[in-house]
Structure 1
Amino acid sequence: MAEFLHVLSTPAGWVGILSLTLLELVLGIDNIVFITLLASRLPRSQQALARTVGLGLAVVTRIALLTGIAWLTRLSQPLFSVFGHAVSVHDLVLIAGGLFLMVKSVRELSRMAADPLGTGTAQVGQVSLASVILQIPLIDIVFSLDSVVTAIGVSGVVPVMVTAVVIAVVIMIVASGPISAFLDTHPPLKLLAAAFLLLVGSNLVGDAFGVGVPSGYLYFTMLFAGIVMLFTVRAARTVRAQYVEQAREDVRREHAAPGDR
């Protein structure tokens, strides 16, 4: 506790906390997307609870990873090799997490393709609150492995890293609600989010074999695609409104009195 208070009393400590918090938020974008899509399968009254409790448990797992620095270093030690490529526990975690994301994403894409507006019974009721809460911290371990290793390399001071993780997760809890509401009102973006998770999952598997794409490229690609889709949705709404207005005008003309024409 004394070390923690000492860190908070120095400008360098706060600079480290702010920089690591920003790092955690940037690297946690894919995590927020996954949590939002996963919780959207629950009834609306349970979604906020699932996100809050799940991310609360994720804080515990991240802090455990941060305090287990020596254990993390052993994760990268080779266990066996496949076609000349050394495979470690870290790689196995990435493969398992990547395959899990790919399966979940394909299922979400299939469901959304069958019911793009989310008006059918497949929208909710197929998952339980407990399963969603359990999946959030488990997949957070996969998402946070690289960010935790990066945080250790950047700071190495446990109080700074723990404080940054707690602040970042609190921000994620607050942001997940508006993001979920935004995706609910823009179903095409929810489809794009599922495609993004499919891309992230395949990239995690690629990372395990040393052929992954830097995350920055993925984020930029999906950001560009999201902006294009927003303009497309807006254009489609404008066209639909124009057609509706034109149809109403035609109806008014057809029912107008002969003398008014």
Structure 2
Amino acid sequence: MEILFSSNALIALLTLTFLEIILGIDNIVFLSIVSGKLKAEDQPKARRIGLILAMAFRIVLLFGITWVMSLKATIFDFDWGFLSGHVTGQSLIIFAGGLFLLYKSVTEIHHKLEGEEDSESGKASTSLSGAILQIALLNIVFSFDSILTAVGLVSSEPAPKGFGEAALIIMILSVVISIIIMMIFAGPVSKFVNEHPTIQILGLSFLILIGVMLLAEGSHLAHFTFFGHNEVHSIPKGYLYFAIFFSLFVEFLNMKMKKSSKKPVQLRNNTIHDEKLKDTDITN
């Protein structure tokens, strides 16, 4: 208990909690877009289940950290001349997650801009079970990425004797606290995202960036090398999150400067806009 309440432990807890919240931004964006296609009464339930799944996956992975770290072991090697690598369990999971995120993001952009109208009069365009399945699949990848980053941060810091025994408790506490904070803000964030078409498209664009980052990270973990000497490197997360926050800052400035009467573009597959259109029609 002394170690848990020491200054080193409290600093580690604050750092890891902040890190979990930052790494959870992509999770919130995905939750907002997927839940936005559900009926209004099902959206809070989908967000709660999604964040509870995120917490459960992270805690389970922390308890099975030995197994997680064992996924670094090479499954098979290959050398095709122009491309070689050492494929591991981690690289396969993260690479597959990146592909899924790219597919899902591009598909959503297509449906919102050019797809057929899938929802009418506020009717949901997807089922609650389908949304939860998508959230669960992506949470597995986000959880691996989050836990590996947290473990790397803790193991890289000098610690006093006995601190390793408390590290697991600190990481679990950081996960629980960060998920509670995200639960508090998930509703307002989702409402804001789904009410502003440009934010939705920006969010989907961010998910494309994150998908590319996961592909690069998976390739780096598998030590993919082109023509014997050009190894694939991971993309630093700092660059990615700077691009996301800067883009959001610019968009908030645009929204503040253009609070004029022009109606925003109405995206498809959005129950919030469908309900507003229905209310407008009834009023007219």
TM-score by structure 1 length? 0.81
1:153 matched to 2:175? The reply is no
CA contact (8 A) 1:20 1:151 kept: yes
1:31 matched to 2:27? The reply is yes
Could you say which residue in structure 2 is the equivalent of 1:56? 52
CA contact (8 A) 1:55 1:169 kept: yes
1:178 matched to 2:188? The reply is yes
Q: Decide which structure has the larger Cα Rg and report it.
A: 1
Q: Which is further off, 21-30 or 73-82?
A: 73-82
**Distance in 2 between the 1:52 and 1:96 partners?**
25
Could you say which residue in structure 2 is the equivalent of 1:42? 38
1:190 matched to 2:203? The reply is no
CA contact (8 A) 2:53 2:139 kept: no
Q: Which is further off, 28-37 or 135-144?
A: 135-144
Correspondences of 1:97-116 after superposition (within 5 Å): 97-114=97-114
Tell me the C-alpha RMSD between the 2 structures: 2.6
**Distance in 2 between the 1:81 and 1:121 partners?**
51
**Distance in 1 between the 2:261 and 2:51 partners?**
41
Q: Cα distance, 1:237 vs. partner?
A: 4.0
| 1:52-109 deviations in Å (ceiling 9; x for gaps) | 1221122111111111121111111111234222111111101111111111101110
| 1:227-261 deviations in Å (ceiling 9; x for gaps) | 223333444443849xxxxxxxxxxxxxxxxxxxx
Number of corresponding residues:
236
**Distance in 1 between the 2:144 and 2:87 partners?**
16
Q: Secondary structure at the match of 1:41?
A: coil
Work out the percentage of aligned pairs sharing the same amino acid: 37
Gaps of 5+ in 2: 155-163, 221-232, 264-284
Could you say which residue in structure 2 is the equivalent of 1:201? 211
From 66, 71, 76, the counterpart of 1:70: 66
Q: Cα distance, 1:27 vs. partner?
A: 1.4
Q: Point out the structure with the larger helix share.
A: 1
CA contact (8 A) 1:78 1:89 kept: yes
Could you say which residue in structure 2 is the equivalent of 1:132? 131
CA contact (8 A) 2:118 2:125 kept: no
